[in-house]
Each structure stands twice: as C-alpha cells, then as structure tokens.
Amino acid sequence: MSAFADELVVERTIDAPRAVVWRVMTEHLPEWWCPEPWKAEPVALEWKSGGRFAIAMRGPGGEEHGGDGMLLEVVPETRLVFTNALGENWAPQVPQPVAIVGRIEIADTGDGRTAYRASARHWSEADTKAHAEMGFAEGWGICADQLAALATRMAEARDA
C-alpha cells in the first residue's frame, strides 16, 4: 500500500544490475514503454530535469495515442519523475487520459538484481479509479515485464 492515497503502483524485481536497467530504461525506451503489439515512438526525449518527454504510441490497427509531458526529475540510475499535466516549455495542458505524476524508481537489491517501482499519482480519487479501470495494473505491468526481459537479456549477453 502506498503512503500516497491516490497512487497506483507496479513493482518488480529484475534479474539485472541497476546500471543495465537504467540503460534499458533510457536508451531502449521504444522497446518496452507500451504493451506489445503496440509500438512506442519517441517524439522528444530530453533526459534531464525539465526536459520534454513526448511519446507516440501506435496500435496494430492504426490507433494512436500521444503522450506529451515533462520530466520533473532525472536522477541517473535511481529515478525518473514525469507528468502529463505540463507540456513543452512547462506549458499547462489538458492531460490525457488523466493527469498523473509518474515515478519510476530503481534500486539495488544487494544480490545483483534491481528493485523496480513504477507509480502514477493522481489529483483525485476519481482520477485514480478511472486510471485503474483503464487497465493501469495490466498495462504498466506488461511494460515492467518487457523492461525486465530486455534488461535480463542484456545483462546475460554482457556476462557471456
């Protein structure tokens, strides 16, 4: 249970070192950011606090969902914090589908693996409920699993 009332959370333990997980998170984002068979296409990725974080997500039937926002905090190998409530140049915008402050945090587990925690904080209980009903746990969980699989493969290849 989160200490923040209107937060949804996905957690995993990834069989790869934190440095590898970070590299996959930031250098291979299109490969894990949205559930397959959907594809993520970066529009703008500025890996710094205050940087733009815009991703187009395309479905197999031609569907498209945009995701435009700002990176609020970037702490290498530790944390990404972002929001869809602000767009380019810190301009307030109407977020889709609901306003969130997203956090992805990684930490060493002490045994060569990485603890992964992704969360979405919401402005209201109604937004939290709506996001949960849209499939937050399944969607963000699939993304976490895709990230974990890619990071594990990269760690194994590095050790081979």
Q: pLDDT value at position 16? A: 97
Mean pLDDT calculated for residue range 132-151? 97
Nearest-angstrom CA–CA distance, 138 and 10: 9
Summarised one tens digit per residue, pLDDT across range 19-76 is: 999 999 999 999 999 999 999 999 999 999 999 999 999 999 999 988 899 999 999 9
Q: For residue 61, report the phi and psi dihedrals to the nearest 5 degrees.
A: -100, 15
Q: pLDDT value at position 88? A: 86
Q: pLDDT value at position 89? A: 87
Q: Which 8-state DSSP code applies to residue 22?
A: H
Q: pLDDT value at position 2? A: 56
Give the global pTM: 0.93
